[in-house]
Amino acid sequence: MTNLAKYVDHTLLSSAATKKDVEKLCNEAKEYGFYAVCVQPIQTKNAVEALKGADVKVAAVTGFPHGATYTEIKVEETKKCLADGANEIDMVINVGALKEGNLELVKDEIKKLADLCHGAAAKLKVIIETGLLTDEEKVIACKLSVEAGADCVKTSTGVLKESKPATVEDVKLMYETVKDFGLFVKASGGVSDSKGANALVKAGASRIGTSSGIKIITE
């Protein structure tokens, strides 16, 4: 069995989350040895402060959860999160643009955010929202992420009505598309037990985004 703690992005993306909630999340991440916490942009600074001196990264989401905002807004949001100390950015692609074939927009957006992240010694994780895509579109999204210089492709936000749970099949497909280019895969959405988490890791996931991290590693 894999030691799953170092795969977990301990996640709290509720719009009702308070500073106190984020501090609790961070204390849990320290206690259980999780790789990172994943929070809303406005909570980035609170998470960074709560994790000062700890070996836990802070990931912030941008363009979340729909990805259907202006590139300029995603850029400014990313800049702010990085200035507040985020080590990683989980950005949502413009799914509509991908589906209508406007691949240049999708790639340009990812590249702008990847350049910002790398300039701040941070990583960019690209949420492609697999529940809205065909297998062909998933591969295209992964290839655009490679070409644009991203560090990771991620299955979903896990919060949209259209989101679907991370599947072994999707993780395998994404992993096979990016593995030779140095990107890793994050499985997110519906990961709630150790059996499911281990299956996703075996399929190629290097990171698991979940709010059930404690349950997963203590089962």
Residues tagged active-site = 90, 154, 186
Dist. CA 110–CA 74, nearest whole Å: 10
Dist. CA 126–CA 92, nearest whole Å: 6
Dist. CA 79–CA 16, nearest whole Å: 23
Answer whether 47's CB lies under 8 Å from 68's CB: no
Answer whether 39's CB lies under 8 Å from 13's CB: yes
Helix or strand run (H / E) with residue 83:
helix 71-83
Token representation of residue 187:
């499985």
